[in-house]
Structure 1
Amino acid sequence: MAGRMNLAGRHVLVTGAGRDTGRRLALAFAARGAQVLATARTQSAAEETVALIRAAGGTATAAVLDLADPTSIDQLPVDRLDILVNSGARYLGPEATPEDITDTIAGTATGTVLLTERLLPLLRASDRPDIVNLISAAGEVGHHRSDAHPAFYAAKHAQAGYAEILSARLRPEGIRVISLFPPDFAQDGSRDADSTLTAQSVIDCILFAVSQPRDCFIRAFHFEQLALRQ
C-alpha cells in the first residue's frame, strides 16, 4: 500500500460495508491507510469485509449495524471518528410489500439521521471531520429515470434534505458534508464515456473529496446520465 497513504491515521466508519459498493468503499479507505470500522446487518458480512482488508495489509474492525433499528444504532461501539460514510441503504425495486417499504424508509431516512446525530460529538472532536452521504439521483428534484419503487425515491429525498440542511449548519464548525447523487450504476464494467457509471468511479469521487485541503468544501456530486436508448 506504499504511496497511497494519504488517509493514514484517519478513523472511518462505513455503513453497508458487507457487500457491493459499501465493501468496496471500506477496502478503498483501508488501502489508503485509514482505520476502518466496517458495519453490516450481519456479523458474518462485516467480518468478510474485514478479512479482505486485513489480507491486503489494512486495518479494520467489524460491527453489526441495522440502520432500521434505533437500538442497533445506539449500541454501535465507536469511540473515535474522522469520516462517516453513509452508504448503507436498501434498494427497493418496483414490487414491494408494506414491510419492504417500512424497512427501506426506516433504514435510509431515519437510520441516516439517527446515526449521524449520534456520531456528531465524535466528529466535532476530530480535526478533519467529514460526513459522506451516498444518496442517489432518485433524491434529486425532478428525477424519474430509476425503476426503483416510489418509496425508495421518498427515502432518498429525505436523506438529501437532511444532508442539505446539515451542510449549511455544520459549515461554520468546519465539518464537511459531502453528498453524491449517482444514477443507477454498475458494480463493474468499462469506464468509457459511453458506458454506465461504475461503483469505482463513484468511490473515486468520494476519495477525491475527503482528500482535499480543509478549505475545500465540496457539497455535492451530480452525475450526467446517459440518454435512454430506444
Structure 2
Amino acid sequence: MRLENRIALITGAGRGIGRAIAEAYAREGARVAVADLTLEATAETVAAIEQAGGTAIGLAMDVTDERRVDEGVAAVVKQWGRLDIALANAGIQHIDPVHKLAFEDWSRVINVHLHGSFLLTRAALRQMYETGGGTMLYMGSVHSLEASPLKSPYVAAKHGILGLCRAVAKEGAEHGVRSNIICPGFVRTPLVDKQIPEQARELGLSEEEVIRSVMLRNTVDSEFTTVEDVAEVAVHLAAFPSAALTGQSIVVSHGWHMQ
C-alpha cells in the first residue's frame, strides 16, 4: 500500500472530493482525520472508512477559525503522534458578476478557501517541521490558472492558493516538506450541482446548455472529471518519494486546461 502508516488530515472531507480522497488514502493504508464543519458531517466518511477496514477519526473544524484549526491539528498529533499529510480541500462557491458582488459574499469565499488554506498550512507546518517533514497538498482548480466569468472570488482565491503552495514548496524544502496543488476541472459534486441553475439564470441558458456549452465546452471528450480521478492524483502526490515533485500544479480536467 502506497500510504501505509501515514497520518493524513483532510478538510472538507465529509462529502464530495474530500470524502473520495479520505477513502482512497485509507485504502492505501493511511490513518485519516476527516475534518468538516461538524462532527455529524464527518460521520458517513468515517463510517465508510472503518467498514472497509481502515482507520479514521472525525474532527469538527471551521477552517476560518484559527483556534479550531490549531486545536484540530493538535488533536491529530495527540491521537497518532505526528502529521504526515495535510490537504486543504474545504471550499464554497458564489455566483455573481463583479459589479453585483456583495463584499460579504466575496469575503466569505476568500475566507474559506484562502484564509482556511493558510491556517491549515501554518498549523501543519509547525508539526511537520518538528518531525522531519511531510506533504502539504491543496485543492485548487483550473481556476487557479485561468478565469471564468461570474466567479471572481473563487478565481481569486484559487490563484492565491497556487501562490501559497509555491511559497510553501520554497520554504518547506529545508524541513523536508513538499507542497503541490491539484487543479481539477468541473467535478459533479454538490458544489458544482448548485452552480448549474445559478449560472443558467445569470447567463439566460438552460441547465443543459450550461453543462454542455460552459462547463464542458473546452474538454476533449465532453466529460466531467470524477472524484475518483482527483483522488488518484491525491494519492500519487502524497506518496511521491522525493522533492523532485514540489511546487507544482497538477491539472485533472479532461484537457480543459493544458500546461
Q: Please, what TM-score do these two structures have when normalized by structure 1?
A: 0.85
Whole-Å Cα distance in 2 between the matches of residues 215 and 116 of structure 1?
A: 18
Q: 1:155 aligns with which of 154, 157, 166?
A: 157
Aligned-residue identity in percent:
27
CA displacement at 1:23 relative to structure 2: 0.7
2:11–2:89 Cα contact (<8 Å) kept: yes
Per the alignment, in what secondary structure is the counterpart of residue 76 of structure 2? coil
Whole-Å Cα distance in 2 between the matches of residues 205 and 75 of structure 1?
A: 28
Deviation digits for residues 90-116 of structure 1 (CA, Å, limit 9, x no counterpart): 122337654333221111111111121
CA displacement at 1:128 relative to structure 2: 5.4
> Matched residue pairs, number?
218
Whole-Å Cα distance in 2 between the matches of residues 227 and 114 of structure 1?
A: 30
| Runs of 4+ with >3 A deviation | 94-100, 125-128, 223-228
CA displacement at 1:138 relative to structure 2: 1.1
Q: 1:202 aligns with which of 230, 234, 256?
A: 230
Counterpart AA for 1:14? I
Q: 1:78 aligns with which of 76, 79, 101?
A: 76
Task: Identify if the C-alpha distance between structure 1 residues 184 and 210 changes in structure 2 by more than 3 Å, giving closer, same or farther.
Answer: same
1:69–1:107 Cα contact (<8 Å) kept: no
Aligned counterpart, 1:20: 16
CA displacement at 1:166 relative to structure 2: 1.3
Q: Do residues 222 (structure 1) and 258 (structure 2) align?
A: no
Aligned counterpart, 2:176: 174
Which structure 1 segments of 5+ residues have no match?
none
Q: Please, what TM-score do these two structures have when normalized by structure 2?
A: 0.76
Q: 2:111 aligns with which of 81, 106, 112?
A: 106
Specify the structure having the higher radius of gyration (Cα). 2
Whole-Å Cα distance in 1 between the matches of residues 67 and 106 of structure 2?
A: 20
2:229–2:252 Cα contact (<8 Å) kept: no
2:220–2:254 Cα contact (<8 Å) kept: no
Which structure 2 segments of 5+ residues have no match?
190-218
Structure ranking higher on relative contact order (CA contacts 8 Å, 6+ apart): 2
Deviation digits for residues 151-191 of structure 1 (CA, Å, limit 9, x no counterpart): 1111112211111111112123221101112222235xxxx
